[in-house]
Chains A and B, each alone.
Chain A
Amino acid sequence: MATNVSIFPGSESSESTMPQSRASGPAVEIGIPSATWRMLASQVRTEPLPSNLDAAFDTARGYIARLKYRTGSYLARAKRVLALDPLYLKLADSDLRQKAFDLRALFRTGKDKPRDLLHAMAIIREVAYRKREEKHYLVQVAGALAMTDGCIAEMATGEGKTLTAVLAATIFGWRGKGCHVLTVNDYLAKRDAELMAPVYEFLGLSVSSISGDFKPDQRRAAYRADITYCTNKEVCADFLRDRLALGRTKDLSGALLGKMLYGAGTDKLVMRGLAAAIVDEADSILVDEAVTPLIISGEAPNEEQVEAFKQAADVSSRMVQQKHYTVNHRYREVELTDEGFHYVMDLTEGLGGVWNGARRAEELVTQALTAREFYLKGKQYVVAKGVPSGGAEACDPDEPKVVIVDEFTGRLMPDRTWREGLHQAIEAKEQIHINPPKDTYARLSFQRFFRSYRTLAGMTGTGLEARREFWQIYHLPVVLIPTNKPNIRRNHKDVVFATEDAKYKAIVREIQRLHMTGQPILIGTRSVKHSERLSEMLQALGLDHQVLNAVRHAEEAQIVAGAGAMHRITVATNMAGRGTDIKLARGVREIGGLAVLAAERNETKRVDRQLFGRAARQGDPGRAQAYVCLEDELLQRNTPRLVRLFRALCGKSDKPLHNPFLTLLFHRAQSKAQRMARSQRKMVLTTDDWLDESLGFAGTE
């Protein structure tokens, strides 16, 4: 799968929104030549991952880094920041602003001392209080301090990460080279930028946000702001487009020569280098989604190929499983049998074109079969009309499209396409218009992109599990920041069932039971299909509920925000509405806070924790429990043999199963899935390294 971005950003959007740049005060005019230079200097880092003994040494360094970046020391420094509070509490606005500007000048020159950082934090804190009436807690300051050191701060959900980011972003912004605050979606970028703009403004910083429909000019302006809120996709795409604009010579001298000779080149750039970034939800952006490469592509009409996909779909529909092909569920693969191969050869004889070659024919048919066997409407994709895509391609809004559903979030991903013709095979299967595969112009995995930042910091609710990976790939230490108030969430033991039916029945019973008490309930499912199934069951019982999947981010956030109301039932795919807190309505706290039910365990423990973390935020009460069954996809895919054994042992009873080994089974399935994902991510990076080394004649990527 790849995220596709059109080469012409915002070409489809009709209205041109001005960038949310609010530059004010005596902001220093950004020196464009140096910005250009920095952009040119931001090479995609080609340093390969260390191997063998070097890797062991690097891991050892990671362990040592844990000693250096300790939670305790950040908390101690944060206490000193809080102790500075009286100094600035009484200052007049103008004096405070002057102090801030003095510090900005200091940070700009890079001559700041450690204690200046503490004072700066204290000032920002005071400003945040005056402008937003929110004062950073001790733990928030500690988290921000960790981030200024280039760490990942693990802060629980609902601990005010948006506000925390302001502290660190201001420091990076003052350095004058720009700071990107990366959020999960455009809506959050816009919301956060607007929310925090008064604070930044007061501190002498311009702030802007970028959304998918921005035109290059708007983007350029937005990047010129000191602090830019945007999504990882946008920033990476802009970076790639800039590199495309530079042509094959991307180094400084080459670009300058080009400018002298042809007079063009650097003027088209929109970015000004990758100086610093604060990544919100760092684990999902830097780890889970990081392997999906971002691709800049353009149209490449190819009638013959489109026809071939149709023919392949036709051929595949005549084939019989086991007889003509075998299906491997574990690796999600289809393989032709000898008979199937000859069958294909017979059927395609005389079709000509690509069907002349046996290899290509086998490939096409296998792909069509894969599309049929493993890509199910409603699960991996939906066929929808007029889904707007951020990349805004030239497409008829009434034309039905295959839209990928994100497996993690259950969200529609109109920008994404599957690779290697699979997307077309699915379109052919659905008998809708086939968009021919596009030509790739540039391609970059987020992993590599983020490695190119000079300073990278992040925040996440769940970073510890991925600690090793953060270090290996980004050299980011993870610092665990405690919650402001002790967490009193009750985590109940998983309830295990033999069958899915039994599981869902039990979930509904539990919902009914909790609903009677008035407690708000959030049910997390792993796919759109499951959330719909649950919704139908609730509907049948006449239970009023909200379903969260595949809607606009803004509405999503509203629904999520309202999920804490009395008697509310919300069915959501796992990470829907991330970034928005579920605030408890009045009276809910007394009856036990939000109850989170997971309808399945996820591939990684982190995602489980993220879901559970939605309950009991900021010292509220809450409960969390997972309902799982032996038919869950997690087990089917990762421990197929063991689960068969357990299913034989446990029978088909509707009652919850009690077997101490079941916990182990789920644990094993999860760790196996995580291991596989991890090695896959590492492989992506190694492959990139190899390509870089051996394709040196093709210039840098």
Chain B
Amino acid sequence: MAIERPTFHESWYRVAELHPRLRSTVQISRQHFRAQPWHVVQDHTNNAFFRLAEPAYRFIGLLDGKRSVAEAWKLTNDQLGDDAPTQGEVIQLLGQLYTANLLQAEVPADTHTLFLRYKKRRSREISSYLMNIMFARVPLVDPDAFLEKWLVLLGWIFSPVGFVVWAILIAGGCYAISGVPNWPSQLASSAGGLLSPDNLIFLYIAFACIKACHEMGHAISCKKFGKQSGTGGEVHTIGIMFLIFTPVPYVDASSSWALTNKFHRAIVGAAGMWVELAIASIAAMVWAHTGTDSPVHAFAYNVMFVAGFSTILFNANPLLRYDGYYILSDLLEIPNLGQRSKDYVFYLVKKYIWNVRFARNPAYSVAEQGWLFAYAIASFLMRVIVSFGIMFYLANVLNGALIILAAAMGVAAIITWVLMPIGKFLHYLATDSELARVRTRAIATTSIFTAAVLIGLGAIPLPDRARAQGVVEPADLRELFAETDGFVTGTPALALKPARDGLDMPYAEAATTLISAKNPELEAQLAGLRADKEYYRIRRDVEAVKDPAHAQQDQSQMNADDEQIKMLQERIAGLQLKSPIAGALVLPDLESKQHAYLSRGDSVGLVAGLDHFIIRAAALNELAGPLATEANRTVEIRVQGRPDILLSGRIKQILPAGSDRLPSAALGYQIGGEFNTATDDRQGTKTVENFFEIRIDDLKLVNAPKDVKTHNAYLDAHKLPLFPGQRVVVRFSFHKKPLAAQAWTALLQLFQRKFHF
């Protein structure tokens, strides 16, 4: 029948005459979610919870062990009319309460099903343990009695007084940090060393201690508010969770769910971070007041990092299932936010795409719908990011044999997070009775969607791009040598000005004298020769009439002298070092060369032509291979630090042999490049891995902001806003390939790199 909630149920007779009641140990507390009252049924003896809506509560409340279910149902119907639970809903409710061990009836329970249920629960527990092997939990002790004793001492932490103390601490911490000169860079510079092997152990100790305090924060606050509101707030489990195989303490504070005040629940959720931030503040004060070399300083930094930074990043993030999530869920008054947001999106699909009748909306109000939808989308994106993050982290951190572990975990993750949900979904699609009427439609839309995604990934070729770092170099680069030996007398180069703003190298036009020198010996020789020549001229003039033959001899002597003079003059001219081309000058230590003696062939510096730049990029094997065959010759170039400037260029040459010398130290890891350089190399250009050099020419400006274009002084002859030595990112584009093919290649390359096959 086309009725959403049929009043009667054919199995009603099984419960109608029973006189069940909640177990005597059960306690009920009232909570309000979005102005609707709910009732949390809690059994302290087995830590079982159940949340009842108002009508269900009214019904359950009538069950006192004397009234039969039928009587209670009739009463509820009289009172609530259409809102009263239907027979089917009552059966389901009773079943759920019974399964949660909250209900008892006068009849002895069917022992066989009891055992079956126990078995089922065990196997579910085990399978969920295996499913969440990355977050495996091992319960250790029951801290309840301990907390009971210590509550007196520590309970004040989560009181107004505690808050004031906490606020002072936080303020103190901030103040201490701000007192450190140049503190942002101080903080940042130490971050690099955090994951260095010799620090890891300290980091872990700090981590474990802080998390222990964090968990105790939850436990104590839970206990405190539980006692305060009378719901108990028992904490019975404390144990160790293996968070991606790293042991971390955890505590089970689920009894905080029964707290009636939502702020109390939120505080219990926030208690861990509360404690951590306090610790971080103390650590900040220590860090600020200890010398940079002391181990205490380093340890304080670790503590600060873990308790401050990681807490804010992970615990406070409501999109991950940590404290932030529960706090948000409590503050929004949307219990079970994560699951219900998923349900809500699924409901939208069911209702609007599949046209399922009677699809149940998990949201109770319009505002809630908005929250659920937003949360579903955000948490999905977060999940994808985190999954990839973990994968890359593992792939990077683990090497050799451990990569097999990472691969195994990857496979496990794919099974549990991808394949099993898909399998479950297919099973649902094929068999669920909810879809009985719209199955064709559901299957069709799902297939279309899947096909669209698969075609998108597997068939539509998309641009395949790769990036490499390169450095800008002038195409024309001349070294300056001293041509003639001599003493430096003047350095006009020092007086030269740079060609344009932002460039600190002096610029010289062609044939500008850069260095002038003197060589007295050459000058003496020149004077000697000139005198010699004068002697022969006079003798020739005298002999001309007397003895023409002699005069002829003198003339040739003179000619020989002339030649020698010319040579000498040239050599002397060479003392004036002129720039062979127009360009920027690199003349190291020029000031110190005043009066110095330059031998012929000594290098003085460089002159770089500024009217023609090329780019020398370095690419690793994986990139260089396909580059030679598959890449477009045209590449895009962006200047590092100025992503708004776009240039284009052409691959002119890929140097055939691999090299381990970088074109510039700018590409090396030591000064911020991407290539790992050998640690023993002072210059910072010797790489760990071989690379291939790619030369890019024909640079053109494609796009640049107005200020760059109009500001003529900023541009060179070719209007390129480039400086030699600048680091740029070159983007190569390969022939278009479907995304799936690209990912496959990348995966293969990763494995190849890790396993060297």
Chain A residues within 8 Å of B, Cβ to Cβ = 2, 43, 46, 248-249, 254, 293, 328, 331, 333-336, 356-360, 362-363, 366-367, 370, 419-421, 439-443, 679, 683, 690-701
In-complex Cβ contact of A695 among B2, B6, B95, B433 (8 A):
B95
Cα–Cα distance between A683 and B273 once the two chains are bound (Å): 49
In-complex Cβ contact of A440 among B1, B12, B99 (8 A):
B12
Cα–Cα distance between A360 and B3 once the two chains are bound (Å): 10
A419 and B117 form a contact (CB under 8 A) = no
Cα–Cα distance between A441 and B13 once the two chains are bound (Å): 6
CB neighbours of B13 from chain A (8 A): 439-443
Cα–Cα distance between A188 and B117 once the two chains are bound (Å): 44
B82 and A357 form a contact (CB under 8 A) = yes
Cα–Cα distance between A250 and B480 once the two chains are bound (Å): 110
Whether A696 touches B10, Cβ cut-off 8 Å, given contacts A331-B437, A334-B2, is: no
A420 and B8 form a contact (CB under 8 A) = yes
Q: Cβ of B7 < 8 Å from any Cβ of A? A: yes
B2 and A701 form a contact (CB under 8 A) = no
Cα–Cα distance between A334 and B108 once the two chains are bound (Å): 43
Q: Cβ of B403 < 8 Å from any Cβ of A? A: no
CB neighbours of A333 from chain B (8 A): 1-2
Q: Cβ of B320 < 8 Å from any Cβ of A? A: no
Cα–Cα distance between A293 and B437 once the two chains are bound (Å): 24
A694 and B95 form a contact (CB under 8 A) = yes
In-complex Cβ contact of B109 among A328, A442, A443, A697 (8 A):
A697
Q: Cβ of B566 < 8 Å from any Cβ of A? A: no
B110 and A696 form a contact (CB under 8 A) = yes
* B173-190 residues at the A interface, CB under 8 angstroms: none
A701 and B14 form a contact (CB under 8 A) = yes
A362 and B91 form a contact (CB under 8 A) = no
CB neighbours of A701 from chain B (8 A): 14
CB neighbours of A419 from chain B (8 A): 10
Smallest CB-CB separation from A334: which chain B residue? B2
Cα–Cα distance between A693 and B116 once the two chains are bound (Å): 8
Cα–Cα distance between A254 and B437 once the two chains are bound (Å): 46
Apart from A363-B7, A440-B12, what are 10 other A-B pairs with CB-CB below 8 Å? A46-B113, A254-B108, A366-B2, A441-B13, A691-B91, A691-B95, A695-B15, A696-B110, A697-B104, A698-B14
Q: Cβ of B481 < 8 Å from any Cβ of A? A: no
Cα–Cα distance between A137 and B309 once the two chains are bound (Å): 88
CB neighbours of B437 from chain A (8 A): 331
Smallest CB-CB separation from B20: which chain A residue? A697
B94 and A695 form a contact (CB under 8 A) = yes
CB neighbours of B112 from chain A (8 A): 43, 46, 700
B8 and A695 form a contact (CB under 8 A) = no
* B92-125 residues at the A interface, CB under 8 angstroms: 92, 94-96, 98-99, 103-105, 107-110, 112-114, 116-117
In-complex Cβ contact of B18 among A249, A683, A697 (8 A):
A697
Cα–Cα distance between A2 and B11 once the two chains are bound (Å): 13
Q: Cβ of B81 < 8 Å from any Cβ of A? A: yes
* B292-328 residues at the A interface, CB under 8 angstroms: none
A697 and B94 form a contact (CB under 8 A) = yes
CB neighbours of A421 from chain B (8 A): 8
Interface centre among A254, A336, A692 (most CB of B within 10 A): A692
Cα–Cα distance between A690 and B105 once the two chains are bound (Å): 19
In-complex Cβ contact of A694 among B7, B8, B96, B104 (8 A):
B96
CB neighbours of B10 from chain A (8 A): 2, 293, 419-420, 440, 443
Cα–Cα distance between A370 and B3 once the two chains are bound (Å): 12
Cα–Cα distance between A387 and B5 once the two chains are bound (Å): 36
Cα–Cα distance between A248 and B19 once the two chains are bound (Å): 13
Whether A694 touches B81, Cβ cut-off 8 Å, given contacts A333-B2, A443-B13, is: no
Whether A46 touches B3, Cβ cut-off 8 Å, given contacts A694-B95, A694-B98, is: no
Q: How far is the CB of B421 from chain A (nearest CB, A)?
A: 15
CB neighbours of A43 from chain B (8 A): 112
A694 and B99 form a contact (CB under 8 A) = yes
Q: How far is the CB of B727 from chain A (nearest CB, A)?
A: 57
CB neighbours of B96 from chain A (8 A): 694
Q: How far is the CB of B356 from chain A (nearest CB, A)?
A: 14
B99 and A363 form a contact (CB under 8 A) = no
Smallest CB-CB separation from B4: which chain A residue? A359
Cα–Cα distance between A693 and B121 once the two chains are bound (Å): 12
A698 and B15 form a contact (CB under 8 A) = yes
Whether A248 touches B3, Cβ cut-off 8 Å, given contacts A439-B13, A700-B112, is: no
B3 and A362 form a contact (CB under 8 A) = yes
Q: How far is the CB of A39 from chain B (nearest CB, A)?
A: 17
CB neighbours of B12 from chain A (8 A): 440
B81 and A356 form a contact (CB under 8 A) = yes
Smallest CB-CB separation from A248: which chain B residue? B107
* B1-60 residues at the A interface, CB under 8 angstroms: 1-3, 5-8, 10-15, 18, 20
Q: Could you pull out 27 A-B pairs where Cβ atoms are within 8 angstroms? A: A2-B10, A254-B108, A331-B437, A335-B2, A356-B81, A357-B81, A359-B5, A360-B82, A370-B1, A420-B10, A421-B8, A440-B10, A440-B12, A441-B13, A691-B11, A691-B14, A694-B91, A694-B95, A695-B14, A695-B95, A696-B109, A697-B20, A697-B109, A698-B14, A698-B15, A698-B18, A700-B110
Whether A692 touches B8, Cβ cut-off 8 Å, given contacts A362-B3, A697-B98, is: no
A693 and B113 form a contact (CB under 8 A) = yes
B113 and A692 form a contact (CB under 8 A) = yes
Cα–Cα distance between A360 and B114 once the two chains are bound (Å): 36
Smallest CB-CB separation from A47: which chain B residue? B116
Cα–Cα distance between A366 and B3 once the two chains are bound (Å): 8
Cα–Cα distance between A441 and B14 once the two chains are bound (Å): 8
Q: How far is the CB of B80 from chain A (nearest CB, A)?
A: 9
Q: How far is the CB of A369 from chain B (nearest CB, A)?
A: 10
CB neighbours of A328 from chain B (8 A): 2
Cα–Cα distance between A678 and B316 once the two chains are bound (Å): 51
A420 and B82 form a contact (CB under 8 A) = no
CB neighbours of A46 from chain B (8 A): 110, 112-113, 116
Whether A443 touches B11, Cβ cut-off 8 Å, given contacts A249-B108, A366-B1, A695-B95, is: yes
Smallest CB-CB separation from A698: which chain B residue? B14
CB neighbours of A698 from chain B (8 A): 14-15, 18, 105, 107
Whether A695 touches B82, Cβ cut-off 8 Å, given contacts A421-B8, A440-B10, A442-B13, is: no
CB neighbours of B116 from chain A (8 A): 46, 693
Cα–Cα distance between A442 and B16 once the two chains are bound (Å): 12
CB neighbours of A362 from chain B (8 A): 3
Which 6 residue pairs are nearest across A and B when measured between Cβ atoms? A694-B95, A440-B13, A335-B2, A696-B113, A697-B105, A699-B107
Interface centre among B2, B94, B109, B114 (most CB of A within 10 A): B2
Smallest CB-CB separation from A699: which chain B residue? B107
CB neighbours of B11 from chain A (8 A): 443, 691, 695
A699 and B110 form a contact (CB under 8 A) = yes
B6 and A363 form a contact (CB under 8 A) = yes
CB neighbours of B110 from chain A (8 A): 46, 692, 696, 699-700
CB neighbours of A366 from chain B (8 A): 1-3
Q: How far is the CB of B452 from chain A (nearest CB, A)?
A: 25
Smallest CB-CB separation from A696: which chain B residue? B113
CB neighbours of A248 from chain B (8 A): 107
B109 and A683 form a contact (CB under 8 A) = no
Interface centre among A333, A693, A697 (most CB of B within 10 A): A697
CB neighbours of A694 from chain B (8 A): 91-92, 94-96, 98-99
Whether A696 touches B114, Cβ cut-off 8 Å, given contacts A363-B7, A440-B13, is: yes
CB neighbours of A357 from chain B (8 A): 77, 81-82
Cα–Cα distance between A331 and B11 once the two chains are bound (Å): 23
Interface centre among A248, A363, A443 (most CB of B within 10 A): A363
Interface centre among A43, A333, A441, A691 (most CB of B within 10 A): A691
Cα–Cα distance between A280 and B85 once the two chains are bound (Å): 44
CB neighbours of B433 from chain A (8 A): 679, 683
Q: How far is the CB of B594 from chain A (nearest CB, A)?
A: 89
B57-85: CB near A (< 8 Å → 1, else 0) gives: 00000000000000000000100011000
